[in-house]
Amino acid sequence: MMKPVNQAQISFPSYSVNEGFGRAAVAAFLAQLDPTVADLADMRTAVSEAVTNAIVHGYRDKKGTVYISAKIFEDGKAVVRVRDKGCGIPDVKQAMEPLFTTGGEERAGLGFAVMQSFCDSVRVTSTVGRGTSVTLTKHFEPKE
């Protein structure tokens, strides 16, 4: 395993007003990879999905803390992990199916589908009652 050339951690309470802060903070950190506007926009969207899920689903019954770590590697790879200590996901495979939602009328059930299509890989580990960790990996080709 390569060592990251730089890394950052942030955490904040699960208030929905912090969704914008979470994705903006990660995007600001990843800007040092000199990414294209489109690549950075993709990662920003994927982070927004993961952070929103932690707030809306993970901490649906109680407030808690959302943890984000971002690492960048020499070859232009970025790894962003979003964690919550919320309710956890009973069936991760089912949760990741497009259109599956427990969120009711106003949720599309597309968060994981967006993460998967906007990143190179998405890894989810979850334990009911303990929380969920979502790891997003994306390679950034340097701008011309």
Partner 1 sequence: MSVQLSYKEGVLTAKLTGEIDHHSAREMREAIDDTAQKLKPYCLRLDFMEVPFMDSSGVGLILGRVRLCNFWRGRVVLCGLSPNLNKMVELAGISSVAAIERRAG
Ligand X SMILES: Nc1ncnc2c1ncn2[C@@H]1O[C@H](COP(=O)(O)OP(=O)(O)OP(=O)(O)O)[C@@H](O)[C@H]1O
Binding site for partner 1 (CB under 8 A): 16-17, 19-20, 38, 41, 44-45, 48-49, 52, 55-56, 105-108, 110-111, 113-114, 117
Nearer to ligand X, 20 or 143 (CB): 20
- How many residues touch ligand X under the rule CB under 6 A: the total is 21
User: Strand 131-139's sheet: what is its strand order?
Assistant: 6-13, 65-72, 77-84, 131-139, 121-127
Q: What is the dihedral of CA 105, 107, 113, 117, to 10 degrees?
A: 130
What does 11 interact with, of Mg ion, ligand X, partner 1, none (CB < 5 to 8 A by kind)? none
Kind and range of the H or E element at 29? helix 19-30
Residue 87 binds ligand X, judged by CB under 6 A: yes
Residue 108 binds ligand X, judged by CB under 6 A: yes
CB 89 within 8 A of CB 132: yes
Which residues are designated catalytic? 49, 53, 107
